[in-house]
Amino acid sequence: MKRNIDELDLLRAQLWGSFLDFTQCFFPLVTGREFKLSQPLGRESHFITISRELTSVARMQATSLLINVPPGHGKSTLLAYWVAWSLSKYPRSQYLYISYGHELATKHTEMIRRIITNSHYRNLFGIEIRHDMKAKDHFVTTSGASVKAFGSSGPITGQDAGLPNCEEFSGAVIIDDAHKPDEVHSDTIRQRVIDNYRETILQRPRGPNVPIIFIGQRLHEDDLPSYMLSGRDERIWRRVVLKAIDDAGNALYPEVNPLSQLLEKKEKNPYVFSSQFQQEPVPSGGALYKVHNFPILDEEPKILYTFITADTAETTKSYNDASVFSFWGLYRVVEYGRETGQIGLHWLDCVELRVEPKDLRDEFILFYTECMRHPVKPLLAAIEKKSTGVTLISVLQEMRGLQIRDVPRTAASKSKADRYIAMQDVIAAKLVSFTQDAKHVNMCINHMIKITASDSHRWDDIADTCWDACKIALIDKAFHHNLIEENKRDNVVTSLADAFKEKVQARQAWY
């Protein structure tokens, strides 16, 4: 019995002495899977780096720690095990776990609960959750420790982290991804998170030595980490930056994100890659699209379907906003004489007008008439449903031979910045093309290369018609079924032609 107690004391001391050993020990006990350290070239594993920094917080060597790390690198897992590890050493600790949404924070605190309720953890450290604590987002141990989950923009008043007048570690405020990626480009929502941090979260530590940990990816040039590092924050932060591709050109976590995959992300979605993976948000004014993203073809490709997108002026002032009509063709992308399997959008025509609302119908009819000269007639017209666009939709509904589709701008359709970033994948893949010498080429490309994620560009009417076209044809694949059916028909015709050719050749051989 004495020997078993000594062995437990020795194991407990070993795990208290190394957070990483603790994680590697308990991760398989809780999940049934091995915890594998990454093996990047030319540098230490990011798991070791993060573990060392979190250990320094538990040892009271750092009270304000900011770690920027790409998504999918195990940061939340490490944080959950760090809470369980530090709580086992300091059993009265009080933690606030904050993420961009309460549901996400609850998911993380539930993981902490699973570790603490593991029989091996309970037997080794004597920590137990009170039987009356059934909630996943809040639990208290029999020794008085507590873990509570909150959303970064929600109410956190009346909740505390750490203990007052305590010289040793007694808990922490943990902020794990403060911003939601698809909301961070909303100035209102982003500022709400920063204000909640400044006015509420900063007041939650019970003493000056109770630490705050921020860990997460960069998402915007004016996000919460930017505020923390701006000099306006009352805390002085120790910052650790972990880039997906380090300065030597090696992948940080090659087992999950190999270099080839990261370089493809960089090529096809440079804005997201720069901010989320390299922790370097594109500065205000940084263009999303480049000239070389738009192929200029010597001749028009074989067009399969055509359609129109329209963005009408926001106001009735003709000198202010523009109304834009764009004409699009769908085609199968061919490289070196072979189909690639991709569908491209060919920008067949575009006009930008500043006219009175009463003249919009006539201008649209004139544009539509020009489009009807194309060998492939337009199937539909998608018109943004806003102010003057609502009127245009209503007067065109009775047109025969053209389907009119209204395009709402709602919360579900996301902000302009979100839409333009989502379109970056399509344009970076060079799926939006022009015909050489077309009259609208320079106007459209010069407009598109001014579009920024920070909304610092002046006009975006042409870009809106491009987004609608990409969304309808390439993202939602509204014509995909028709293209498949047409491809089937082409295959049938080809098969019949081949069979007929074989019969002719056989008959000629007979004679």
* Per-residue pLDDT tens over the stretch 173-201: 999 999 998 888 888 898 999 999 999 99
Tokens 């991804």 correspond to 177
Q: pLDDT at position 280, please?
A: 86
Percentage of the chain modeled with pLDDT above 90:
59
Residue 318 has pLDDT above 70, yes or no: no
Position 131 scores a pLDDT of: 87
How much is the pLDDT for 1? 42
| Kind plus residue range of the DSSP H or E element containing 64 | strand 64-68
Average pLDDT over residues 411-429: 81
Span 127-147, average pLDDT: 89
67-96 pLDDT tens trace? 999 999 999 999 999 999 999 999 999 999
What does the pLDDT read at residue 159? 83
Q: Which residue has the higher pLDDT, 409 or 41?
A: 41
Name the least confident of 103-112, 179-188, 256-265: 179-188
Considering the chain, what is the average pLDDT of its residues? Answer: 87
Give the position of tokens 């403060």.
178
pTM above 0.85, yes or no: no
Q: What is the reported pLDDT for 499?
A: 56
CA 44 – CA 61 distance, rounded (Å): 21
Question: What confidence score (pLDDT) does residue 407 get?
Answer: 82
For residue 312, the model assigns a pLDDT of 86
- For position 221, what pLDDT does the model report? 82
Phi-psi region of 420 (alpha: psi -120 to 50; beta: other; left: phi over 0): alpha
For the segment 122-133, the average pLDDT, to the nearest whole number, is: 90
Q: What is the pLDDT of residues 140-168, one digit of tens each?
A: 999 999 999 998 877 776 788 999 989 89
Q: Which of 503, 428, 411 is nearest to 470 (CA)?
A: 428
Q: Which helix (H) or strand (E) holds 495?
A: helix 480-510
Q: What φ, ψ does residue 430 adopt, rounded to 5°?
A: 60, 45
Amino acid making up residue 108: H
The confidence score (pLDDT) of residue 211 equals 96
Give me the pLDDT at residue 25, please: 95
Query: 492 pLDDT exceeds 50?
Result: no
CATH 3.40.50.300 fits 2-277, yes or no: yes
Tokens of 159: 């909740």
Residue of 418 and 239 predicted with greater confidence: 239
Arithmetic mean of pLDDT, 14-25: 95
The answer on pLDDT for 456 being more than 70 is no
Q: Would you tell me how many other CB atoms lie within 10 Å of the CB of residue 100? A: 25
Confidence of residue 509 (pLDDT cuts 50, 70, 90): low
Amino acid 35: pLDDT: 94
What is the distance in angstroms between the CA of the first residue and the CA of the last residue of the chain?
Answer: 101
Mean pLDDT, residues 418-440 taken together: 91
Please give the pLDDT value at position 483: 56
Question: What is the average pLDDT across 58-64?
Answer: 94
At the top level of CATH, the class of 291-478 is alpha beta
Residue environment code for 225-239, b if the CB has 16+ CB neighbours within 10 A, otherwise e: bbbbeeeebeeebee
Spatial separation of the C-alpha atoms in residues 328 and 500, rounded to whole Å: 37
Whole-number pLDDT of residue 286: 65
What does the alpha-carbon distance between residue 383 and residue 131 come to, in Å, rounded to a whole number?
Answer: 59
Residue 493: predicted pLDDT: 43
Crossing angle of helices 75-89 and 102-116, rounded to 10°: 50
Q: Average pLDDT of 479-494?
A: 53
| pLDDT-wise least confident of 202-216, 298-312, 397-411, 495-509 | 495-509
